[in-house]
Each structure stands twice: as structure tokens, then as C-alpha cells.
Amino acid sequence: MKRENFSFYFNNWLYGNDGYYANYKNIGKEGDFYTSVSTSSFFGGTIGKKIVDTIKSAELPRDTTILEIGAHHGYLLADIIQFIYTLEPTLLDTLNFAIVERFENLQSQQKKYIKDSFGDVINLKHYNDISEVKLSNAFIVANEIFDAFACELVFTKDEKLQMAYVENNKIKFEHCIDEKIVEHCKKFKIQKGEVAVGYEEFAKTLYENIDNFVFVTFDYGDRVPRNDFSTRVYSKHEVFPIFEKGLDLEKYYKKADITYDVFFLHLIDCFKTLKVKKILFKTQVEALIEFGITELLEILQKNVDDTTYLREAQKVKTLIEPTGMGDRFKMLLVKK
């Protein structure tokens, strides 16, 4: 393998030929990791309620497109659709549904799952890239996509910024000559950690291609930089920090997930630069409660037996526990 920037190596690991995300992967107990989507259908259901409330308040029209970016199997969009049907069924007559997905085989999986779930009621459109999306109104949903954007690894040594390169699955650091990376680290006071690549272009594309939108994304990370390395490999629910002694990167390359904590202030700054109308940053527990997850549980309690209710309530508890997913995951809402 030739010498390359870590961002190139990271991107190829996930999205290159036979990359980790190029083929369908199980998520949850049988996979390498859990997500909020695999934890409870009420995660998508609560986003569905937020969509209904947004349209009822006339922030978006009834013919809005619900657009998911990075839908994997299609579970999240299906949960959103199901709860919209429960809360406001006539909306399904006017709403449009779409997914941005670069891999053809995953598009086929998503089409099949939505078709199996809803028959011909839902007409699903696919885009290969967000650059293809041209819409007047959209409610955009993305779950855990920013931790899968390529990143550079940096640290400061003797007051000089070093950047990671990879050769033969070995990481080494050299003096950073990329002025954009240097300026980014100065701006956000980053001494050590990850610098995400592509956030600016992503935000700019959404802003330029969609006239009016509400964008909601959930991911793990924090508002401020950690100033430490968070890049890690997930394999069968085991976690391996990228610089763990003895870690054989070649063993996991393209065969396991690689990820890092999202630095949300960087993402927020990308949208602020575009002068969007509104930006909200909250923990997952704050966001889901504000969106109405407890109200949905109350509706469930009135319509099912105690055993079913308690089972679903326990799953929701996992989503919103302050010591777990509730605080570990964050929500960013952007309105244009």
C-alpha cells in the first residue's frame, strides 16, 4: 500500500471497493455495533412526530419531501412513516419520501424493505449523492453520518502541528503542510485529535440545493473538541482505540467499522457561515423529550397490554438514559 493521508485511508476503509459500508451489514446484536434506530422504533417515531408538528405549525408544507441521508437498511425511514401514519394518516397522501444512498445494492435493500412494509402506498425516490438533490421543501434526517466522514489525525509536538499518514496499515506522523488543517486547529484550539473532512461542502450543498428545510441529525460526540484521539474500530461490539498497543489495522481494514467522535462546534460553524435561520444543539435525551417521545409512550400505554408497554418503555429508557445514549449522543437541528 502506498503512503497516503489518513483521510484517504479512512474513506477507502469505509467506502472503497469492498469497503465496510459498500456491502450490507447487520446492525444490533448480530452486527458490530448498536444504533438508536436498532434500539427502539420510538427513535424514528419521535422524529416522525416532530415532522408532523413541523407541518402542523406551517413551518413546512404538506407536500414536503422527507429525505434521509445514509439510510442503511431503511429501518429509520420506515419507523418515521409508520408513526406519521399513526399520528396524521392523511399526510401520507401528500408527503414525498427519498433517500440519499451511494451504493446500488443498499438502494435495492431499502426499496425492498419499504415495499415489503408499505406496499404501493409509499413511492420512494433515490439520489446517489446530495449534489443531485434539488427541492423546494424538505425535512432532512441523518443518523450517525458525520462520524463516518473522513478525517485527518493531528497532534502538536514542539509547538508544531503533526498530521498522520498511513503506509502498509501503519500510522506515522509528519509535519503538517496543509494550511487549511493548520488554520482549522488554530481556530478551534485543537492540539490533538481528529479534523473532519467534508463538513463544509455538505452544509453548503444542502443550503444551495434546497430552498426551505429542517435538518435533524443525531451522532455521538460533543460541542467542544476532546483534544485527544477518539478514532476507534468496532468489531462484534468490541472497541479498539486506533492507537491501542498491538492493534493490527490490517486485520480490521474494510472488515470492521471505523469511527470517531463528532466535534459539533465545527459542524455548527459550517451552517452558521451560511447564515441559516435557526440552529439548535441538544443532547439526545433533551431532543427526544422535546420532540414528544413521552407523549408517544402515553399513547402506546392506552392501546396495548402492560407487558408490551413495559418492553417498549425499557427500550426507550435505553435511548434517553443520561448515563448512556441520552447524553452520549447529541442532536443538531438546522432550519433554513
Where along the chain do the CATH 3.40.50.12710 domains lie? Answer: 34-149+198-221+261-335
Helix axes 75-87, 104-118, angle to 10 degrees: 30
In sequence order, which ranges of the chain are alpha helices (DSSP H)? Answer: 6-15, 36-39, 41-56, 75-87, 104-118, 179-188, 199-209, 249-252, 264-273, 284-291, 293-303, 306-320, 325-328
What pLDDT is attached to residue 33? 47
Mean pLDDT per 10-residue run, the chain (336 residues)? 89 90 61 68 96 98 96 91 96 97 90 94 95 98 95 94 95 94 96 96 97 97 93 89 93 94 97 94 97 95 94 92 90 98
Instruction: For residues 258 and 11, give the distance between their C-alpha atoms in angstroms, rounded to a whole number.
Output: 10
CA torsion, points 203, 205, 211, 214, in degrees to nearest 10? -30
For the structural domain made of 34-149+198-221+261-335, what CATH number should be given?
3.40.50.12710
What is the Cα gyration radius of the chain?
20
What pLDDT is attached to residue 92? 95
Amino acid at 255: K
The DSSP-derived string for 270-302 is HHHHTT-SEEEEEEHHHHHHHHTHHHHHHHHHH
Please compute, for residue 67, the number of CA atoms within 13 A of its CA located in the half-sphere on the CB side.
Answer: 27
Amino acid at 117: S
Which SS3 state, helix, strand or coil, does residue 209 take?
helix
pLDDT in tens, 319-332: 999 888 889 999 99
pLDDT in tens, 53-87: 999 999 999 999 999 998 888 999 999 999 999 99
What pLDDT is attached to residue 18? 86
| List of residues 6+ apart from 171 with CB closer than 8 A | 6, 153, 164, 165, 242, 243, 249
Instruction: For residues 254 and 20, give the distance between their C-alpha atoms in angstroms, rounded to a whole number.
Output: 5
What pLDDT is attached to residue 28? 46
What pLDDT is attached to residue 32? 46
What pLDDT is attached to residue 29? 52
Instruction: For residues 154 and 228, give the distance between their C-alpha atoms in angstroms, rounded to a whole number.
Output: 9
The predicted model scores a pTM of 0.93
Contact by Cβ (8 Å): 39, 315: yes
